[in-house]
Structure 1
């Protein structure tokens, strides 16, 4: 279920990329965010009245970070391709895991991941610097999401914090953007692709993740999430017709291995797993940012 949720999320991202031309990145992200809010509210019960002022501040901050993360990573995908963007984005969870650890092995993993990214992007005159910068911004946003969700998870158990943030984001930003997009009368096929993206990247992974977390240790679950870049490369090749160079495979493999090595460590030796989503630390909030 964990691997299936991961594969579904990256497949959804690839399907969403097919609608970039007609809807634009903001339009696709808006559709996906609305679907995410609906999916979360379908499985999570929360009440606005139950949130105090401090919780609302964290919810609003988390919503802003979620929106930034999704926009930047999708913009990066439109420029650099799915596999590269997702792999670079994965530096965010790794940075949090390494930053909360004092083990030498984690520091070595960070160096390996840094080398992997250099090999992956192969800096040169033809590099899409803006695309790489957007992917790095998405990584920073993911790291921020982890820290905020951990703080919010301590106040709101389970996925209630993520559900509240997704709802705020959908109402404050995604719905207005979606209305503007629909008023432009885009092809219905593009809207359908964006909706499928929302289902595959949000609606389906939520229950699968929750079920997997009931059966797997947090460290095992986090290790399995390291497969995200692998699924991203496969989805990019199969659905988007992207070509993968040897250096991208090597660089991506180094990042995946570094993440898996850190994630495989027992949870009690670190502050959290590489997704920063140790259910024991956050009341069950898993990688809601990736999904939402």
Structure 2
């Protein structure tokens, strides 16, 4: 959940921000660079984005493994607190010279970040990783449809809805889509709504704060918000050395490493291309869930994921064509 200059994603990196009203993606200053100079072809940037996605989703899988120790809220607290400390040390953001409006934007960004991560981790504590990310992606997709107000994007939304119908209507057992816990699915949808808000406030923060300063400050806000919930659920278990070490691992895999890789990628490829690649997040999540957590999928499950991925990619591509026209 998750991103350099002014943003990150729950399990997901908010690169889909390229579909937001502002052309700059949820990656803040990285987006500015990404839409500018640097080579726009070659496998290098693509490899960076895919590596970032793998890092995020395998970090989420690791988080699921340590939830029995600290609970979902505890893991969120560990992740956000560790990421905030790392980013504050690296960025050393200035706190003077900003208006009340600037701080209001950072506060809203931090609230969205805390909500996105908190709801997503509650979701993957109840349902498999692949379906959770698939439902979460619907938030940015809905934002794209609302912003564009074009018929073609309504059609893409319909395609995504088809995936959701498969998700809710499949009657299989085990870890298939048909056995999804309703509360877990609701948390995933809520995380998607917060992801959309995250994208909006990430872009605004990127315009008001230099470098990654806005991200570091917002991450600190998110950590402070999550702290009481984590303490209430996990208490002193948060201070167990092994749990702290695993929490740091989640923070590195899900925040620090992918944000760095995405920032490098955005300097070498257009933001819309980046957003299209980020549409692969549900597939990467399903793979991580299968390899790390033994969360198997049927062919119908894979089709549901494919429909949502295709809808997300189509919505981004139609946005690109509109801007090019």
The TM-score, its normalising length taken from structure 2, stands at 0.76
**Structure 1 residues 152-161 or 182-191, which shifts more?**
182-191
Task: Report the Cα offset of residue 197 of structure 1.
Answer: 0.9
Equivalent residue, structure 2, for 1:245:
298
| Residue 247 of structure 2 is aligned to residue 194 of structure 1 | yes
- Residues 96 and 170 of structure 1: is their aligned pair in 2 closer, same or farther, counting only changes over 3 Å? same
Query: In 2, distance between residues paired with 1:215 and 1:115?
Result: 34
Q: After the TM superposition, which residues 62-73 of structure 1 pair with which residues of structure 2 at under 5 Å, given as runs?
A: 62-73=109-120
CA deviations 1:254-274 (Å, max 9, x no partner) are 00111111223454736xxxx
Tell me which residue corresponds to 2:262: 209
The alpha-carbon deviation at position 178 of structure 1 amounts to 5.6
**CA distances 1:174-230 after superposition (whole Å, capped 9, x unpaired):** 388369846247764433322211110011111111110000001110011011111
1:78 pairs, out of 119, 125, 136, with 125
Residue 17 of structure 2 corresponds to which residue in structure 1?
none
Aligned to 1:25: 72
Shifted more, 13-22 versus 142-151: the winner is 142-151
Size of the aligned set, in residue pairs, is 270
Aligned pairs for 1:266-277 within 5 A: 267=320, 269=322
For the residues of structure 1 that align with 2:293 and 2:67, how far apart are their CA atoms?
12
Change in 2 beyond 3 A, CA 1:40/1:193: same
Q: Measure, in 2, the Cα distance between the counterparts of 1:137 and 1:199.
A: 24
1:35 maps to what in 2? Answer: 82
Between 174-183 and 219-228, the greater mean CA deviation after superposition: 174-183
Superposition map of 1:33-112 within 5 A: 33-112=80-159
Distance in 1, Cα, partners of 2:239 & 2:217: 30
Q: Distance in 1 between matches of 2:212 and 2:194?
A: 19
Give the alignment's Cα RMSD to 1 decimal. 2.3
Contact 1:236 1:242 in 2 (8 A): yes
Write the distance in 2 (CA, Å) between the matches of 1:142 and 1:236. Answer: 21
1:128 to 166, 178, 181: 181
How far apart are the structure 2 equivalents of 1:185 and 1:25? 12
Judge conservation of contact 1:62–1:149 (CA < 8 Å) in 2.
yes
In 2, Cα distance between the equivalents of 1:136 and 1:185? 28
Of 224-233 and 146-155, the range deviating more from structure 2: 146-155
| Distance verdict in 2 for CA 1:238–1:160, change over 3 Å | same
Q: Check the 8 A contact 2:166/2:300 in 1, yes or no.
A: yes
| Equivalent residue number for residue 286 of structure 2 | 233
Contact 1:120 1:251 in 2 (8 A): yes
Deviations 1:140-172 (A, max 9, x none): 111111122223333224433222110122245
CA contact (8 A) 2:75 2:230 kept: no
Give the gaps of 5 or more residues in structure 1. 271-292
Distance 1:253 1:180 in 2: 36
Runs ≥4 residues deviating over 6 A = none
Moved more, 150-159 or 19-28: 150-159
TM-score normalised by the chain length of structure 1: 0.85
